[in-house]
Structure 1
Amino acid sequence: MGDQVTGIEVRYFAAAVDAAGREKETVELAPPADLGALKAALIERHGPSMERVLTVAAFLVGAGPDAELTRDLTRPAGDRVDVLPPFAGG
């Protein structure tokens, strides 16, 4: 029960790459993980620079035509999340 986890593939873009020090990684969270839990895990893992990025970032949840762009932290994370900070000063 307490040892059940799910792997979420997290891909980073723009400033999020710098904050994470990588382009992608897998984050293990207990299901059902929402974007709020993922955000907290990423801040714990990567610190204040990631916290600054995530304050303004949107999340693309899923892949393909069913992917959803959101900032709703109560949305389930699913198995893939792209972290999209504003581009070009936006």
Structure 2
Amino acid sequence: MPLSVVATITAKSEYRAEVRQALLAILSPSRAETGCLQYDLHVTQDNPDRLVMIERWQDDATLVRHMATAHFAALGAAIDGKVTGVDIVRLNPVA
């Protein structure tokens, strides 16, 4: 069953550009993964420090594989200490 993910990453203001660049760097390799249906980065209109990744995956297994990739690990290292929070919500389609 397809799975959607909304990941909200809130950067510390002084690291906003670095966090954004790290998130932009993961787009291409993530989109190239088998089972990735969507991987798009957004910024909220009311807070430039709040970045939102909207993802769609073929199923839970493809998301698990994504989280085990080298580029996902590199993202974690790149933003470590530069964010005030990361909130990940997994969604199952209803209609």
TM-score in terms of structure 1 length:
0.33
User: Would you tell me which structure has more strand in proportion to its own residues?
Assistant: 2
Structure number with greater CO (CA < 8 Å, separation at least 6) is: 2
TM-score in terms of structure 2 length:
0.32
